[in-house]
Structure 1
Amino acid sequence: MATLYDVPADALIEALADRLADEVEQPDWARFTKTGTGRELPPEQDDFWVTRAGSLLRRVAVDGEVGVDRLTTAYGGSKGGSNRYQVAPARATEGSGKIVRTILQQLEEVGYVETAEGEGRRVTAEGRSLLDETAGDVLEDLDRPELERYA
């Protein structure tokens, strides 16, 4: 049986986004919201919300009990040297806590994530089952030569 560690992360997140499309819904305000203080514009992808939901589900499963603060750090970036109109040296910035918190709440409503009192959030048995089933499907879809590259 395949687990989330047996397949490439990008392929797993893409497949999870397809499965979560019916269960996780993008709020109206998300079209206008930046994903962090280091960003200039909101994301342009149409499926950003479900892709981030799949990524968050995988991240919570890999990290174990994890809080919103650690997840905003993980989804942060840099502000400074690489952005337009900025001359200052780059520095680390955090991602949007509202986006992370809202997606985690939606995943809780569906039953894939639960709150661990005082420790953050963790994946439920249903969430682990979804991850493993999706990983199995992704593993079947991968070609053998391509699979050897990831081994």
Structure 2
Amino acid sequence: MTTVYDIPPDVLIEKVAGELEKLDAIETPEWANFAKTGVHKQMPPKDEKWWFKRAASILRRVYVDGPVGVQRLRSFYGGKQDRGSKPYQFRRGSGSVTRKALQQLEAAGFVENTKDGRVVSPAGRAFIDGVAHKAKESVVETIPGLAKY
């Protein structure tokens, strides 16, 4: 069976985001069109579907790194802040974006909250592995060497 590790992350996240858009449990909050994804950013995302891509990316990150918490995911989605004439400095990503996306993934049944942190539920594992399997069929022709897996 194809898993998350067999597909390039950018391809998988696009496919999972497309599947998450079809679900009722994952929806873009009203404030998402105006919010930045972190203090290190100067503008909000231009892509209208960025919320689904971030939720898909968080689901993949929990699958690969789990159990994880919001703080650890904030560090993953952080970046360098431009401080003018002073040197750039690392800043974590938005906690609210990460937390709300995780809460929506929990409501959809894809993520579970344990005492050690959030982990992918069996339903979430089946969902993302199923998307990975479908994605592999469409990607095999474009990426040489992937067919051997």
TM-score range with shorter-chain normalisation? Answer: over 0.9
Give the superposition deviation at 1:87.
Answer: 1.8
Give the AA of the match of 1:10.
Answer: D
Give me the CA root mean square deviation.
Answer: 1.6
Which residue does 1:45 correspond to in 2?
47
Which residue does 1:71 correspond to in 2?
73
Which residue does 2:127 correspond to in 1?
130
TM-score normalised over the length of structure 2: 0.93
Give the superposition deviation at 1:80.
Answer: 2.0
Distance (whole Å) between structure 2 residues aligned to residue 120 and residue 75 of structure 1? 17
Conserved 8 A contact 2:140-2:146: no
Q: Structure 2 matches for 1:139-150, cutoff 5 A? A: 139-144=136-141, 146-148=143-145
Distance (whole Å) between structure 2 residues aligned to residue 140 and residue 27 of structure 1? 33
55, 58, 73: which is aligned to 2:57? 55
Q: Which moved more, 1:135-144 or 1:66-75?
A: 135-144
Deviation string 1:110-146 (CA, Å, 9 cap, x unpaired) is 00001012x1110000000011101101100013451
Give the AA of the match of 1:114.
Answer: E
User: Structure 2: which 5+ residue stretches go unaligned?
Assistant: none
TM-score normalised over the length of structure 1: 0.92
Distance (whole Å) between structure 1 residues aligned to residue 100 and residue 90 of structure 2? 23
Deviation string 1:81-106 (CA, Å, 9 cap, x unpaired) is 6xxxx221111000000000000000
User: Structure 1: which 5+ residue stretches go unaligned?
Assistant: none
Which residue does 2:90 correspond to in 1?
92
Distance (whole Å) between structure 2 residues aligned to residue 2 and residue 18 of structure 1? 19
Distance (whole Å) between structure 1 residues aligned to residue 134 and residue 56 of structure 2? 15
Distance (whole Å) between structure 2 residues aligned to residue 135 and residue 128 of structure 1? 10
